[in-house]
Amino acid sequence: MVRNSGGPQAIHASDFVPGAERAFCYLDGDDLYWREKTVRAFREAVPREWRDFNLKLLPSNWTAETLEEAAGAYSPIPGVPVVVIAGSAMPGTQPKKRGRAKKDAKEDPVSKADAARWERITNAGEDVMILVCEGNIPASVKKKFVAVNCSKPAPDVLSALAKKEAKPSGIEFRAVNLLIQFTDGRAMDIVNEAHKLRDYADGAEITVSDVEALVGDNMEHAIYELSNALADKDKPRAERLKDRFLSNGVEYTQLFWLLINQYRRLLHAALSPLTDAELAEKMGVKEIAVTINRRTAKKYTKANLKAILDLLVKAEADYRTGVCSDETAFGTAFAGILTI
């Protein structure tokens, strides 16, 4: 394994191979799919049967001391590296620091003890690999790490991802572009929708018509169903619909996004004086979507719709700032909606 040298380096997560000249890395960017892909690649660098010994997972509040201790662990298996993963793959889990504006902020000083620890960490043996998912790496040390870019990649990378996940059915060129457009380039959504399209195509090539019929309409219909069940206080049905999302690979982070957008639409539908057709044209949706939303919105007062939207936004902020996990935050919000 060759150590990083020559100053700061960066590579997109789609091209990343752990251990290939890159022993020390940190995640940069907030696309959860690419972050989880990189973490998974590090985990898999250790054979499953040896992970109890050679895989070290540090919590979000790791320190240079705990990182050094983990990186200094002895590997009992020749040829199998000690892999240290520090922090959570979930983007934005650390609370932002209050205080000076960014332009006036300075890097926190590194104590002599920590400086010595970082020196020992970065000079660890050839059988150690480190991935920092979140947390501070001193600027003087970062040049020895590679930044794994987990932002939205170039369109050709997303196109390749869609084509890969659509196999063995295959997918038309224009259908690929439409799928990327409908998902706003979110890799996890591309994967989930490509799997759904592939199952629907049943061996036939996926077409633009398939994407238009399934990706937009079915997702919208599913979220309409869920919000309607919540409005009816039908907890068993709402739970079944939520579980359907989860079983189809939709993450809690995506569910938050879907429900927040849906309740914004419900509130807008309730407040707008426009007709269904006028509001549909203004929002760029089908008229039936506005009609359905207004039917659901009538089951709430306007104040309650605003309260639910505030509840969802706060819950999402709670998991993003590390107050609780995404599952706990969503569960709390979900239960709260049923009581409003």
- Supply the angle between the helices 276-283 and 287-297 in degrees, to the nearest 10: 110
- Which amino acid makes up residue 21? E
Sketch the domain layout of the chain as residue ranges.
9-149
Among 49, 50, 45, 126, smallest CA distance to 85 is for 45
Task: Give the other-Cβ count within 10 Å of 174's Cβ.
Answer: 11
Helix (H) or strand (E) holding 130: strand 128-132
At 132 the pLDDT is: 95
Token digits of residue 36: 């989880």
Q: Which residues of 101-132 are buried (b: 16+ CB within 10 A; e: fewer)?
A: eeeeeeeeebeeebeebbeebbebeebbbbbb
At 252 the pLDDT is: 87
Torsion (CA) 313, 317, 320, 325 in degrees, nearest 10: -80
What span, in angstroms and rounded, lies between the C-alpha atoms of 286 and 277?
A: 8
Among 219, 217, 209, smallest CA distance to 186 is for 219
What span, in angstroms and rounded, lies between the C-alpha atoms of 340 and 22?
A: 51
Per-residue pLDDT of the chain (340 residues), as tens digits, is 333 333 457 889 998 887 665 578 999 988 889 999 999 999 998 998 989 889 999 998 999 999 999 988 888 888 788 999 999 887 654 434 434 334 434 455 778 888 999 988 888 767 889 999 998 899 888 888 999 999 888 889 999 999 999 999 999 999 998 888 777 678 888 998 999 899 888 889 999 988 887 886 456 667 888 998 999 999 998 998 888 788 766 788 888 888 998 999 999 999 999 998 888 888 777 787 788 889 899 999 999 999 999 999 999 888 888 888 989 999 999 999 999 9
Angle at 163 between CA 159 and CA 169, to 5 degrees: 155
Token digits of residue 98: 């209050």
Helix (H, G, I), strand (E, B) or coil at 221: helix
At 312 the pLDDT is: 93
At 100 the pLDDT is: 39
Q: In 75-184, where does DSSP find H-type helix?
A: 112-122, 139-142, 155-166, 173-182
What span, in angstroms and rounded, lies between the C-alpha atoms of 12 and 151?
A: 8
- CATH superfamily, region 9-149: P-loop containing nucleotide triphosphate hydrolases (3.40.50.300)
Helix (H, G, I), strand (E, B) or coil at 299: coil
